[in-house]
Structure 1
Amino acid sequence: MLNFLGNIEAKIDAKARVFVPAAFRKVLQSSAQTVLILRKDLFQDCLVLYPESVWDEVVEQLRSRLSQWDKAQQQLFRQFVADAERLEMDANGRILLPKRCMQMTNIASDITFLGVGDTIELWTREAFEKSLIPAEDFSLRIQDLMNNNPGRE
């Protein structure tokens, strides 16, 4: 099972390449995941890296909820996959970020890799900090969530 954890800052070079952090590369290599799919997040101003197997599960889950005979649903699926880019790490563990994806999220030279379970998010530091819930609100929300879900410990 893939489990990325960490908040790691990195620099993008002049050719738009960036090293996937070593901790994340180890997880990918241990599960023989060399192909990554990059797509802008649906809700946040960041990019999401999906290991290919995770992407395949996401696409299958989406497709299973959509009818291929419904025009509007087909358009949703088409747009979801059209925004995706297939990436491969080079021998040094770098990926090439497509300029179009960088522009969508205002990513320039500094980037923050955030491990989020089975995916990796790529943020500008400013956008990431802006997305965070204030500490007191965060703790109250976690408390509410955990107290209102009996049976989950």
Structure 2
Amino acid sequence: MSHFLGEFECKLDTKGRLMIPAGLRKQMPEVERDGLVVNRGFEKHLVIYSRKEWDKIMEDLSKLNQYEKKTRDFIRYFTRGATDLALDAAGRVLLPKSLLEYAGIAADAVLSSQLNKIEVWAKDAYDAQMDNEPENFALLAEEVMGSAGRRADA
């Protein structure tokens, strides 16, 4: 499983193309062959997955009980707008207009590595999200990573 690293400020061109920074492209050498998938995030942002990661998620979704309405609704909302992306010769991807509108991304964007995916935020929305850091980050870490988050070998 790939885990990405880094935070990158980017600009979209007038056609909605996003240059994937070289430092990020180096972390995903299979992209030129396999491509990427972009999708809506749970908050008002986009998420980019490698094709391999997206296929794993689809495999997980296919195991859910689709006779349950909540499951069907979740799958519909989660996959809504999912689009294949391919890098062009200049290392750019064309982001769908409907997804850009959903995330409020017009020109300035931030790519934020989040484990096995890359979040794409409008710069102002990302800055607002990060400015909302809890006063006691150590307490949040304890709540999230406490006994449930401890590794068995630790």
Q: Structure 1 length normalisation: TM-score?
A: 0.85
Q: State whether residues 40 and 78 of structure 2, in contact with CA within 8 Å, keep that contact through their aligned partners in structure 1.
A: no
Question: What corresponds to 2:52 in structure 1?
Answer: 53
Is the 8 Å Cα contact of residues 33 and 52 (structure 1) preserved in structure 2?
no
Query: 1:107 is matched with which residue?
Result: 105
1:145 aligned residue: 144
Whole-Å Cα distance in 1 between the matches of residues 135 and 76 of structure 2? 40
What is the rounded CA distance, in whole Å, between the counterparts of 1:72 and 1:147 in structure 2? 30
Partner of 1:60, secondary structure, is helix
Identify the residue that residue 87 of structure 1 maps to in structure 2.
85
Cross-structure match for 2:61 = 62
Alignment deviations for residues 7-50 of structure 1 (CA, whole Å, 9 cap, x no partner): 110111111111111121112115765411111112x1110001
* Whole-Å separation in 1 of the counterparts to 2:27 and 2:63: 28
* RMSD over aligned Cα atoms: 2.2
Question: Structure 2: which 5+ runs fail to align?
Answer: none
Bigger drift between 45-54 and 126-135 goes to 126-135
Aligned residue-pair number:
151
CA deviation profile, 1:72-121 (whole Å, cap 9, x unmatched) = 53344244323211111112210011111110011011000001111111
Counterpart Cα distance in 1 of 2:89 and 2:34: 10
In structure 1, list runs of 5 or more residues that go unmatched: none
CA distance in 2, matches of 1:75, 1:101: 19
| C-alpha spacing 1:126/1:85, structure 2 compared with 1 (3 Å) | same
Normalised TM-score (structure 2) = 0.85
Inter-partner Cα distance in structure 2 for 1:19 and 1:9: 10
The answer as to whether partners of 1:38 and 1:48 remain within 8 angstroms in 2 is yes
